[in-house]
Amino acid sequence: MDSFQNYIDGQWVSARSGHTFTNHNPASGAALGRFPDSSVEDVAAAADAANRALPSWRATPAPQRAEILYRVAAMMRERKDDLARALTTEMGKVLKEAAGDVQEGIDMTLYMAGEGRRQFGFTTPSELPNKWAMAVRQPKGVIGAITPWNFPMAIPTWKLMPALISGNTAVFKPSQYAPQTAWHLTRLFEEAGLPPGVLNVVFGDGPDTGKAVVEHPLISFVSFTGSNAVGTEVARRCAELGKGVALEMGGKNAIIVLDDADVSLALDGVIWSAFGTSGQRCTAASRLIVQRGVLDEFQTRLVERTEKLRLGPGLDPNTDVGPVINPAQLDKIAAYIPIGQAEGARVATGGRRPPATDLTGGYYFEPTVLIDARPEMRVAREEIFGPVTSVIRAGDLDEAITINNGVPYGLSSSIFTRDIDKAFRAIDGITTGIVYVNAGTIGAEVHLPFGGTRGTGNGHREAGQAALDTYTEWKSIYIDYSGRLQRAQIDTAS
Ligand code: UN1
């Protein structure tokens, strides 16, 4: 088994305690590599290094910072296939999707490298004569980035690229279930010539290592992606410690299918959004709100399509749906089936671990459709994060929108309709951060804001220009060249 180390101040080092943990291949359960189980001391060393690196990184012209990001992107592109295979091996998603995850990382890296020559501030007229007014972006300081296992390449780049291009330094704590992809990303930064201390990586779990990142006094801003329960705790600690925090905490996304929809197209969108990445996306479609007139046809065809999906290892080119990440997640997903049944939902297909012996050892769950779900059921309100979707009936568009909005999350929504008026009414009425028309709920592009309302987040957005707001502070600058004291709001008062 290979052994991996933390990356602190430009050095590869073991955890001070010498403790390690192991990551596993979800397709087989096989152990893959040994990683440092980092403690408060390791995080402190990382935060210290990041803090020492801050003045010179901040003083490095942004276009020079960008050169390093461009090199990282070029290497990611060259090594895309190998990175994708490594990602599938530790995380389970099918190879094509793993390549998509890496591509999203490349796209984000290039987008943010471009910000090296933008990061626009603005000038604006002063209310006084002979006075100049402008605003520029400044780095926040040392950023703590805590990332999940479901997009182990894309999501770290969503946080690290805007943070680093803006002149921040970082302490990065990737998920313990997908540490190897984070290790590869760190190696790319090292090879690209990132100065020591600018990016520091500490491996470990949430309750110990993640908590130490949240609590370290030199880390002034925390960006977290994960569950609502953990994110809420992160926010509480950050509030107590006076830190800024950006949260992305999942979804309970719905696809609305109206009577006038192209049902075949809607089914394509549903299959991709509900079962892609085995449903382990924040953006996964785990509710299908279907109008009465099309419900029977939709359900029959959905079950047929779902039963054709081939479950298997992500590296097998014939696989449509890979395993889920770990046994705990498998148990959690499986537990939702009796919960749904007890509330009156019925399993139309799936609902169990596959009986096939060749999948024994891996963490597989059959793609599952629950029907007769109602909006108040737990399966229709809680994030399951697995290949399970629930069909809910709606009478009309207004009812569908009300159901769509009536959950504790607000990330992504979609509507399938051929009626332009209804599409625009849905765009207006839906209160999630992302809305798709005639496409599924997944597949956000890196140059648009990503995030959501209600329990999905705390108002910040990742990706695009919005990410710069997360990782920078505005500084307003006034230059008075009148040679005399000019008093704003007083000398101009009429
Ligand atoms: C996530 O699941 O947290 O829009 C990220 C999508 C992908 C990103 C998902 N581009 O589904």
pLDDT in tens, 188-212: 999 999 999 999 999 999 999 999 9
Domain regions of the chain by residue span:
2-249+457-477, 253-437
Q: Which H helix or E strand runs over 161?
A: helix 154-165
Distance 122 CA to ligand 1 centre (A): 32
CA of 363 to the centre of ligand 1 (A): 21
Residue with tokens 């530790």: 90
Q: Is a pLDDT exceeding 80 seen at residue 493?
A: no
The two tokens of residue 143 are 């950023």
Catalytic residue among 90, 97, 115, 282: 282
**Looking at residues 289-304, what average pLDDT do you find?**
98
31 CB-contact burial (10 Å; exposed 0-12 / middle 13-18 / buried 19+)? exposed
How many angstroms does the Cα of residue 282 sit away from the middle of ligand 1? Answer: 6
Nearest ligand 1 atom to the CA of 282 is 2
Q: Phi/psi of residue 365, each to 5°?
A: -140, 135
* Ligand 1 pocket: which of 442, 446, 448 to mutate (most atoms within 8 A of CB): 442
**β pairing state of 131-139 and 472-480:** antiparallel
Using CA positions, which residue lies closest to atom 7 of ligand 1?
443
Q: What distances in angstroms separate CA 131 from CA 17, 303, 474, one per listed residue?
A: 58, 68, 19
Could you tell me which CATH number the domain at 2-249+457-477 has?
Answer: 3.40.605.10
CA distances from 370 to 348, 377, 406, 421 (A): 6, 12, 19, 30
The kind and range of the H/E element at 91 are helix 80-91
Q: Which residues contact 301 (CB under 8 A, 6 or more apart)?
A: 263, 267
Q: What is the torsion angle, in degrees rounded to the nearest 10, for the CA atoms of residue 401, residue 405, residue 406 and residue 409?
A: 150
Please report the pLDDT score of residue 220 as a whole number: 97
Instruction: Ligand 1, residue 450: give the atom nearest the CA.
Output: 4
Whether residue 105 contacts residue 458, with contact meaning beta carbons closer than 8 Å, is answered with: no
Ligand 1 mutation pick, 158, 282, 447, 460, max ligand atoms within 8 A of CB: 282
- Distance, CA of 435 to CA of 273 (rounded, Å): 13
Residues 447 and 474: beta-carbon distance below 8 Å: no
H helical segments located in 192-227: 211-215
Mean predicted confidence (pLDDT) in 67-90: 98
pLDDT at 27 over 80: yes
CB-based burial label for 395 (10 Å; 0-12, 13-18, 19+)? exposed
Catalytic residue among 90, 248, 366, 462: 248
Provide the total of helices (H) and of strands (E) in the chain, helices listed first: 14, 22
Q: Give the C-alpha distances (Å, rounded to integers) separating 51 from 43, 48, 92, 158, 399.
A: 12, 5, 36, 21, 52
Sign of CA dihedral 92, 97, 103, 109: negative
Ligand 1 is surrounded, with C-beta below 6 A, by 104, 150-151, 281-283, 442-444
Q: What is the pLDDT of residues 209-247, one digit of tens each?
A: 999 999 999 999 999 999 999 999 999 999 999 999 999
Angle at 16 between CA 14 and CA 17, to 5 degrees: 110
pLDDT of residue 360: 81
Cα–ligand 1 centroid distance for 284 (angstroms) = 8
For residue 364, what are its two tokens?
């597989």
Q: CA-to-CA distance for 122 and 130, rounded, in angstroms? A: 18
Do 27 and 313 meet the contact criterion of CB atoms below 8 Å apart? yes
Count Cβ atoms below 10 Å from residue 207 Cβ, excluding itself: 10
Mutate to test the pocket of ligand 1, among 97, 281, 435, 436 (most ligand atoms within 8 A of CB): 281
Question: What pLDDT, on the 0 to 100 scale, is given for residue 494?
Answer: 66
User: Predicted confidence band at 492 (pLDDT cuts at 50, 70, 90)?
Assistant: confident
> Is 191 a residue of the active site?
no
Average pLDDT over residues 321-335: 97
253-437: CATH superfamily: Aldehyde Dehydrogenase; Chain A, domain 2 (3.40.309.10)
**Nearest C-alpha to atom 3 of ligand 1 is from which residue?**
282
Phi/psi for 434 (5° steps) reads -135, 135
Our answer to whether residue 67 is catalytic in this structure is: no
Q: How far, in Å, is the centroid of ligand 1 from the Cα of 181?
A: 17
Mean pLDDT taken over the chain: 97
